[in-house]
Structure 1
Amino acid sequence: MEIRHLQHFIALAEEGKFTAAAQRMNIVQSGLSMSIKELEQELGSQLVTRTTRKVSLTAAGELFLEHARGCLALLNDGVQSVRSQDGVVRGRLHLGILQSLTPYVQLATLLQRFHSSYPEVEFAVRALSTEAVPALVRSGYVDLSFQAILGKERWPGVQVIPYAQDSLVAICSSKHPLTRKSSVQLEVLSHESFVDLTPERALRKLVDQIFTQHHLPRSSVYQVSDIETQLYFVAHGLGVAIVPSALARSSTASHDLHTLRILSQAPKLAKWRIAILTRPRRNDIPGKTTVELFLETLAELSRKTKITGET
């Protein structure tokens, strides 16, 4: 088994098509197909299911993907340890982000400052689905990710660092009857039509959890895949929504929205919590890792810039 076999397999798993994966790896499609066949023959198991339109992973392929990513991550750690012996910080930093991260992290400023201090470090920034993040971090494919925390989640091989906590508020159009109020009971809110995110999104799960805990029904009239569309729909009177207060404050002016504090009986209304997920530090790597240096830069920026929301 060669390194290229792992690289080709990971590219195919992520792209979902032989054509796109071959272009990404800068090889001909037949070469990529042969590489995958060689890998499957060596493992003695089928890794992918091939159709005319796309490629999907088998159960064995899903299992092998995490190990393949971890193997390349360990190799990269070794390469960077050797290359950094001259005191120059080199390497790559793969970051995972949330769509609703902007009110809590000045990402452009953060990346600019880090790149200015460590110009030899390469970046990859991806918006990731909540469910995929822990496995990607554990395998080393993602070095650090911001993650919404809905409960007391813990994942083996993953370090969870609390970062920000924020209250949830209700938002409605500036022309909605609720604009006459500054707060609203959760029971009253349950009778409104909602503009929601799709069910797999962390914020949607948290809102669903709140209404379930309070034994309240609600009507989800619209389901959208991104925060910006949700705010746009609410501003145009298609329904109300529940969002973190920092997001509401940063969006009310541009979207013509009205914000309401949510009042509720016990149990206490849950908070929107963001944590940083990364791998535990390895003691066999000398000096500070790129993740540690990035966290130091983030902490410095957070001290100088007041983080919006409740911490």
Structure 2
Amino acid sequence: MDLRHLKYFLAVAEARNFTQAAASCYVAQSALSQQIARLEKDVGTALFSRTSRAVRLTAAGELLEPLARRILADVDNAQAALDDLAGLRRGRLRLGLVQTLAGAIDMVEVMAEYHALHPGIDFHVVNGPSSEMAAAVLSGGLDVAVVGLASPQVPGGLDHLVLGRDPLVVIVPSDHDLADREVIDLAELPQSHQLIQFTEGTGLRRQVEAAFARAGVEPGRHFEVGQLHDMIRLAARGVGVTVVPRWAVRGVGLGVLPAGARVLHLADEAAVHHVSVVYDSKRLAPAAAAFLDIVGR
């Protein structure tokens, strides 16, 4: 099985379009189609269902996709291991980075130190929901990821190191019925409240929903936003209430609490936002191992 065939296969699987896949691989569409046909001949079955409107993976294609990603990731790791003999003078680090970093962790400084020590390593940084990035590490799509997951939430098969823990706080508008309180329980929020939630699938979203579950109440109506500072500003404007890590309102994240907002602490001591770095120690490339060394220090 030709590795090039697997790369073309994954390009089509991602784009669901032969023309776009060929463009991303810098080859003619006819050449890419021929290589896919050869791969299908090698495996003995069709990998794509083609119509005039869509390209879909067959059952065999769905089975091959994660295997192909792992095979190509292993090849990259093998090359990286050889690069390690040359002192990490070249290579690549694919890093997933969550938006809701704990305040004590300055990943910009970590990356800057890494680059100073290993300037030949190319950085490829992606942002996304924690669950998706952890899954990408497990499948070989990422080398390492900093995610908003506590230890029990890390997928099986991955190793992890907890980098930070930060209490969750509630942001309410200054005219809210609870605005004069210092500490509240989530069960005290009115049933009619609207909760400004972070993106679904993120570690913060899971931790907030877990806190509501411990309080024995439903989160309420949702207003979903993908940026922490927007969540806080919307709460200040009276759109609803929101729950965020404490660092986001203590100078590291937003910087200044917007006018009209009040910060309330939670009585639930388990309501904590965790940040962890996840990796697969069984398939750890040298470039990723060097990054973990800096993070650990």
TM-score tier by shorter-chain length is 0.7 to 0.9
Structure 2's unaligned 5+ residue stretches are none
RMSD: 2.8
Alignment partner, residue 246 of structure 1: 247
Alignment partner, residue 194 of structure 2: 193
Task: Give the aligned residue type for 1:234.
Answer: A
- Work out the CA distance in 2 between the residues paired with 1:46 and 1:135: 26
- The alignment status of 1:117 with 2:133, answered yes or no, reads no
Task: Give the aligned residue type for 2:236.
Answer: A
Checking the alignment, whether the CA contact within 8 Å between 2:249 and 2:257 is kept in structure 1 is: no
- Work out the CA distance in 2 between the residues paired with 1:124 and 1:73: 14
Task: Give the aligned residue type for 2:197.
Answer: D
Spell out the pairing of 1:43-192 with structure 2 (5 A cutoff).
43-50=43-50, 55-101=55-101, 103-150=103-150, 152-153=152-153, 155-174=155-174, 176-191=176-191, 192=193
- Summarize the Cα distance change of 1:187–1:8 in structure 2 as closer, same or farther, 3 Å threshold: same
Checking the alignment, whether the CA contact within 8 Å between 2:102 and 2:274 is kept in structure 1 is: no
- Work out the CA distance in 1 between the residues paired with 2:103 and 2:204: 15
Quote how far apart the aligned CAs of 1:228 are: 4.2
Quote how far apart the aligned CAs of 1:144 are: 0.3
Alignment partner, residue 233 of structure 1: 234
Q: If the length of structure 1 is used for normalisation, what is the TM-score?
A: 0.81
Spell out the pairing of 1:277-288 with structure 2 (5 A cutoff).
277-281=278-282
Aligned residue for 1:243, secondary structure, equals strand
Checking the alignment, whether the CA contact within 8 Å between 1:190 and 1:217 is kept in structure 2 is: no
- Deviation sequence 1:236-291 (CA, Å, 0-9, x none): 22000111111232226164432110125xxx533221221111156xx9xx9212
- The alignment status of 1:259 with 2:256, answered yes or no, reads no
- Work out the CA distance in 2 between the residues paired with 1:82 and 1:198: 39
- Work out the CA distance in 2 between the residues paired with 1:181 and 1:214: 18
Alignment partner, residue 299 of structure 1: 296
Task: Give the aligned residue type for 1:105.
Answer: I
Checking the alignment, whether the CA contact within 8 Å between 1:198 and 1:204 is kept in structure 2 is: yes
Checking the alignment, whether the CA contact within 8 Å between 1:196 and 1:204 is kept in structure 2 is: yes
- Work out the CA distance in 2 between the residues paired with 1:119 and 1:160: 26
Percentage of matched positions with identical amino acids: 28
Q: If the length of structure 2 is used for normalisation, what is the TM-score?
A: 0.85
Structure 1's unaligned 5+ residue stretches are 301-311
Aligned residue for 1:110, secondary structure, equals helix
- The alignment status of 1:271 with 2:272, answered yes or no, reads yes
- Summarize the Cα distance change of 1:209–1:121 in structure 2 as closer, same or farther, 3 Å threshold: same
Number of residue-to-residue matches in the alignment: 293
- Work out the CA distance in 2 between the residues paired with 1:252 and 1:179: 21
